A = this chain, B = another copy of it.
């Protein structure tokens, strides 16, 4: 286990000083071909690779960005992370994944890492109730881009899905299939994604000629459990509803369970559209119609915005990425 060669070793081997080699390597020095050749050969011979810790300490930069997400173990964020990583890698950046478990303390911790230049920038997603303190910490930092869910009072660049349009697409799909009595089961009532999805959904319903009505809406959390209970309530309280729009895959899962428990099938007794389309909904039976978030696109865009932020370019303060309705077979054609 011999020690890896240092810049010094390379310099010795090439008969030069470390400074020269360093500057050559970093492009801040043009060397005559002969000298360059000597260095290249020395590097190859020794199999030299710069020590990243030393380099970071010295430069105060790490060529690494961080991605803070609630949980890796969530298809939505897993896909997001995969796309972000690929984009980062293509840009010569390393991507560190931090999972906050939605705990404020951990979120702050990661932001702190940014401040210490542990990473050069941070892509930040949170599901926890936005709070003033979080916003102010983020605003004190530069090189943060917020994604997926808004944080009140944050001035950093943000990248979101077009949630409102998602609601619109869902409502239209139901209406085109003849539905008139609707329900919505969303996530937390006070967060942007829930509000916007519902807003779009409701606007279309209210504007429909057919006398469509939004008979019920339930708010809770993006969890299977909430999907289960809210759907049970819905079925009890509004048995006449024929079209259900749920705010996330997890809620869908719970809804399907409850429905199945009552002998109901999506697309038969109750039509269902979900939001996200991160899980393998195409393999469900029936396949579930969904508003698909541009997950990969969010990841890639966030990385690119962050890159521009880091290099000091202008960036759009907020970008909305288009969603798409993926029609499968969970919406029944009425009449």
Contacts and interface: CB of A to CB of B under 8 A. Distances in A.
A115 B4 contact: yes
Contacts of A53: 53, 56-57, 62, 117-118
Interface in A271-286: 279-280, 282-286
A271 B285 CA distance: 16
Interface in A74-120: 74-75, 78-79, 81-83, 85, 96-97, 99, 112-113, 115-118
B73 A79 contact: yes
Contacts of A96: 96-97
A4 B116 contact: yes
B82 A72 contact: yes
Contacts of A49: 112, 116
Contacts of A285: 256, 260, 265, 284-286
Nearest to A61: B53
29 contacts: A4-B117, A49-B112, A49-B116, A51-B57, A52-B116, A53-B56, A53-B117, A53-B118, A71-B82, A72-B72, A72-B78, A73-B78, A73-B81, A73-B82, A74-B78, A75-B75, A75-B78, A82-B99, A85-B97, A97-B97, A253-B283, A256-B283, A256-B285, A257-B282, A260-B285, A279-B280, A280-B280, A283-B284, A285-B286
Given A53-B57, A72-B81, A252-B283, 9 more contacts: A49-B112, A53-B53, A57-B57, A73-B79, A81-B97, A96-B97, A253-B283, A257-B283, A265-B285
Interface of A: 1, 4, 49, 51-54, 56-57, 62, 71-75, 78-79, 81-83, 85, 96-97, 99, 112-113, 115-118, 142, 252-253, 256-257, 260, 265, 279-280, 282-286
List the 10 shortest-distance A-B pairs measured between CB atoms, nearest first: A73-B82, A285-B285, A78-B78, A53-B57, A53-B56, A253-B283, A97-B97, A72-B82, A72-B81, A73-B79
